[in-house]
């Protein structure tokens, strides 16, 4: 969500004259920084899609298309084994499924590169890594009969992502690997969709070995950036207004933003401070943040989402509940059989859950994490990241994410699964 703010910030800085601003800022960029980035071949990473990006760094990658029961065509990316360790093709490995946050994609897990991106780290540790893509993002912008230009394509929130997309992708990973169970790792909305899945379909508990929830989002009683919280009481009105004026999709992946990011946020640009300011406003001002990587990240986020995904979070902020999407009262009756949208029954969650939260993460206030833990039916362990300034996006991009979070996640996963050195 806060990426929305960030990108609006960057947009505001950059939209006026897309042609002239770039030549203007070119002059301001110190050429040594440019060469630095080009020298590392990093700038190119902004425009590569996930499979090319993974291949570029010498890792095996596979691409799968799966069709949901409501005809969305989703793309999954897989890194079946490591490059330096655990690199025998075809060997038996525990499967891990990873689910990205709102406005993001499978790129979240690889954009920082080998040794830093969690997908690469897990492949080296001996896991068979499957990356999901929710309906509506740049890799899953396809449907058997609906076109993304049609409003009907965008009539979903993270309720459908959790209830339909995630189980479909999990079943596909299990079928392809011949396994009964897998590990799940989610970030932000990727955790919301997990909680939705198990609340509505408890039979999926048996398919989950462990869940590591990075920045878990369910209750938003105290969580969320101020701007979004301020808009929350109006989320139904805003959603209807958006629909009325034909805004069904928010922030699709765009070349213009990528180029704006490259120009405005790269090292040496005098405007990098403005990028910092935009990030500060949305809480992306961590000392853990490596500014050099902004241009690369802006090539991959935003990756597109439905306006309804935002509206659904807004509804939950307002109601202080974790409930299904509120349509109109009439439509609620038709869909749910009740006037109000029903609450998600978190007591159905029995798979072991590990909730990793950070003190400076404005999306996961400790009171909300505690409330989530209280309502989860099985065992849910709360783990506080041992760095006070760690925030929402540091889980993906933090300079020390590996030592502060990932090593712990791997220890937890290996406590369920024996992996032999290879
Ligand atoms: C920031 O990212 C660049 C490019 O990947 C890298 O060379 C540099 O070491 C990173 N800085 C830190 C502090 O990790």
Q: Residue 184 belongs to what H/E stretch?
A: strand 182-187
Query: Residue range 226-241: average pLDDT?
Result: 71
**What spacing in Å lies between the alpha carbon of 211 and ligand 1's midpoint?**
30
pLDDT at 24: 31
pLDDT classification of 252: cutoffs 50, 70, 90: confident
**What spacing in Å lies between the alpha carbon of 398 and ligand 1's midpoint?**
11
Inform me whether the pLDDT recorded for 20 exceeds 50: no
Residues 229, 248: Cα–Cα separation, whole Å: 21
Helix (H, G, I), strand (E, B) or coil at 341: coil
Query: Residue range 126-153: average pLDDT?
Result: 96
**What spacing in Å lies between the alpha carbon of 267 and ligand 1's midpoint?**
11
More confident residue, 298 or 13: 298
Q: Active-site residue 392, yes or no?
A: yes
- What residue owns the CA closest to ligand 1's atom 6? 292
- Mean pLDDT for the chain overall: 85
The HSE-up count of residue 235 (CA atoms within 13 Å, CB side) is 22
More confident residue, 227 or 369: 369
- 95-99/353-357 β-pairing: unpaired
Instruction: Catalytic residue, from 188, 199, 210, 286: name it.
Output: 188
Query: Residue range 27-44: average pLDDT?
Result: 55
According to DSSP, the residues that pair with 306 across neighbouring strands are 249
Mutating to test ligand 1, I would choose from 114, 117, 290 the residue with most ligand atoms within 8 A of its C-beta, which is 290
More confident residue, 38 or 359: 359
pLDDT at 41: 76
**What spacing in Å lies between the alpha carbon of 418 and ligand 1's midpoint?**
33
Inform me whether the pLDDT recorded for 3 exceeds 70: no
pLDDT at 30: 39
pLDDT at 268: 67
Instruction: Catalytic residue, from 81, 300, 326, 392: name it.
Output: 392
pLDDT classification of 39: cutoffs 50, 70, 90: low
pLDDT at 224: 73
Query: Residue range 151-174: average pLDDT?
Result: 97
Buried b (16+ CB within 10 A) or exposed e, 221-257: ebbbbeebbebbeebbebbeebbeeeebbbbbbeeeb
More confident residue, 57 or 4: 57
Indicate which atom in ligand 1 lies nearest the CA of residue 399. Answer: 14
- What residue owns the CA closest to ligand 1's atom 14? 399
pLDDT at 416: 94
Domains of the chain: 4-421 (3.40.50.1820)
Q: Tell me: the pLDDT tens digits for 61-93? A: 999 999 999 999 999 999 999 999 999 998 999
Task: Name all residues whose Cβ lies below 6 A of ligand 1.
Answer: 40, 42, 290, 292-293, 399
- What residue owns the CA closest to ligand 1's atom 1? 290
Radius of gyration of the chain (CA): 21
C-alpha separations of 309 from 40, 54, 129 in Å: 36, 29, 26
According to DSSP, the residues that pair with 63 across neighbouring strands are 77
Q: Tell me: the pLDDT tens digits for 184-199? A: 999 999 999 999 999 9
pTM: 0.86
Q: Tell me: the pLDDT tens digits for 306-316? A: 889 988 998 99
Strand ranges, E, within 255-398: 305-306, 353-357, 380-384
Query: DSSP letters of 146-162?
Result: --TTSGGGG---HHHII
pLDDT classification of 238: cutoffs 50, 70, 90: confident
C-alpha separations of 319 from 194, 229, 268 in Å: 21, 12, 45
Query: Residue range 257-267: average pLDDT?
Result: 69
pLDDT classification of 348: cutoffs 50, 70, 90: very high
Q: Tell me: the pLDDT tens digits for 353-390? A: 999 999 989 899 999 999 999 999 999 999 999 999 99
């Amino acid at each position: 969500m806060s990426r929305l703010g960030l990108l609006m910030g960057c947009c505001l800085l950059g939209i006026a004259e897309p042609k002239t601003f770039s030549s203007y800022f070119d002059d301001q960029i110190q050429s040594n920084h440019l060469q630095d980035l080009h020298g590392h071949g990093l700038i190119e990473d902004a425009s590569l899609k996930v499979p090319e990006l993974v291949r570029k760094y010498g890792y095996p990658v596979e691409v799968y298309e799966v069709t949901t029961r409501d005809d969305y065509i989703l793309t999954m990316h897989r890194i079946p084994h490591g490059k330096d360790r655990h690199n025998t093709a075809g060997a038996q490995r525990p499967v891990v499924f990873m689910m990205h946050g709102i406005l993001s994609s499978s790129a979240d897990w690889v954009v920082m590169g080998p040794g830093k991106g969690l997908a690469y780290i897990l492949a080296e540790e001996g896991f068979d890594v499957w990356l999901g893509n929710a309906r509506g993002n740049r890799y899953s912008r396809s449907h058997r009969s609906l076109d993304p230009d049609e409003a009907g394509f965008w009539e979903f929130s993270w309720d459908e992502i959790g209830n339909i997309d995630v189980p479909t992708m999990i079943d596909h990973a299990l079928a392809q690997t011949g396994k009964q169970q897998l590990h799940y790792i989610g970030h932000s909305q990727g955790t919301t969709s997990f909680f939705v899945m198990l609340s509505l379909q408890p039979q999926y508990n048996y398919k989950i070995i462990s869940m590591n929830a990075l920045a878990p989002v369910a209750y938003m009683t105290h969580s969320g950036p101020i701007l979004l919280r301020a808009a929350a009481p109006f989320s139904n009105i805003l959603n209807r207004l958006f629909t009325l004026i034909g805004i069904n999709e928010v922030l699709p992946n765009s070349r213009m933003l990528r180029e704006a990011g490259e120009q405005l946020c790269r090292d040496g640009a005098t405007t990098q401070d403005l990028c910092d300011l935009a990030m500060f406003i949305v809480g992306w001002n961590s000392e853990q943040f490596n500014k050099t990587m902004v241009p690369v990240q802006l090539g991959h986020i935003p990756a597109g989402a439905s306006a309804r995904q935002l509206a659904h979070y807004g509804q939950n902020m307002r109601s202080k509940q974790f409930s299904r999407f509120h349509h109109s009262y009439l439509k609620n009756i038709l869909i749910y059989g009740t006037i109000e949208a029903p609450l998600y029954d978190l007591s159905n969650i029995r798979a072991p859950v590990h909730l990793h939260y950070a003190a400076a993460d404005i999306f996961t206030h400790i009171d909300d994490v505690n409330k989530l833990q209280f309502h989860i039916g099985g065992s849910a362990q709360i783990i506080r990241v041992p760095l006070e300034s760690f925030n929402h996006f540091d889980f993906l991009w933090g300079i020390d994410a590996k030592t502060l979070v990932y090593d712990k996640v791997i220890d937890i996963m290996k406590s369920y699964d024996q992996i032999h050195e290879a």
